[in-house]
Structure 1
């Protein structure tokens, strides 16, 4: 078996057996191709069946000088899964990454925005902005409102369909990692701006593949992830905000603000689409001063000292 055949079979397995999204599959394959490129540069044509621990160690040593510990850990995990698949299919007997340890990672706390930051970003959107006679200002406002009020990943936002909107019931249907579906509550303000955009959207000549996609560009095509980043970057620059802001920052802010206002961690987990509540628990580490306030307010033995 050569690398091309192994990757083709593995992609099929990830899609059919694991139910992973196209983006997730591409990420797995990208890491395998990094290993292949390393082999080619070192004139090593060894197959995925014959590659040994020593060769993989050389590859890991090389990327350790180029990538962050977090990126290294992701690649090691991805390659370990790939070779486990080859073992499962009886193409090889051992995993060349069995003796390779991932770098230790500290828990990285996500960046968040204050409510004032978010209000300022939304207020900075020019609702009169048009391109080719299509009002994209209202679209941009609906995008930011949806990112923040529903806590979506950027891919979940760009994939959001009109048929996923259940406004009468107060929910939207979201397809998350692994194509797993969840229902997320949506507020009246966000619904208002989506409905405004839907009226504008009717005047666009929409591509056949995007008829049901909610957020489009002026050509009637589905928006790219890069376009969402660009919209946010321009707003951040416009208000002079000295923070690194990405679409995921709104998702983190969504979870943090819910927790700060007393939301149940399990409910936040469900809305974010986290498979494990351990992932959601990271938000309990963000604002310790808020936790002290909660303790003072609700615990029978408060920290307030009596005179």
Structure 2
């Protein structure tokens, strides 16, 4: 069972993808039981309600042909990120593996669909890809007492691209991670949200490609800090709410390593995590408002 959202940005409709009695995978609308796939849906037992509705044949089917695929979770309250959570990636970044989780935030308005065209910032020269296992929180978590309690807070998993502008992120004595990680459409999510009880999030293969050439190839079993450990740790410092997304870190194989070129206009980046599907973005150079206005005037003159 895979949860997804289809339709124009800001007007996506909730759906579940599952096999019918004959083993044929079909798309079912969740409109009869929810307005969206969001924190309220997850906290209210939405995954189990969807299962029951499927078993009872109470959901209508539809064709996704021609429909945009949105992020599988509606705009989260928080996107919490973990830095340098694979030892090899820490090494290629010039850092020692952290002794405690590195935690930072991305604005939730950076979330975009898994196949949406992706803008490179106007002045960016070092825009980088990062395939990451995303964890969706299913219930409120604060000051959790154990890793076991943390595991109970996982609603499901998804593919994420933590796009990062390295010139904005790293120079200077303190670094500016927020500047390098907050750019528009820099967090593509999806295509699906898969419930936590349907796969082992601790042992999934993660891969990325740029223009068809392999870049990253690792496993979530190589995480320095495991998924439940991260949720327990983060809960000591902030309130986690249903629908929040935690990005668990990226493995080695990014442009920051110096082995590859940074993303250029026209590049196509693909990311895949075992059992969670594949996403793809084609990149273009974003224009500043002044350039857009100039282009509009030129067009009017013609």
| Bigger share in helix | 1
**Which range, TM-score by smaller chain?**
under 0.3
- Give the number of the structure whose residues are more often strand, by fraction: 2
TM-score scaled by length of structure 2:
0.26
Which has the greater radius of gyration? 1
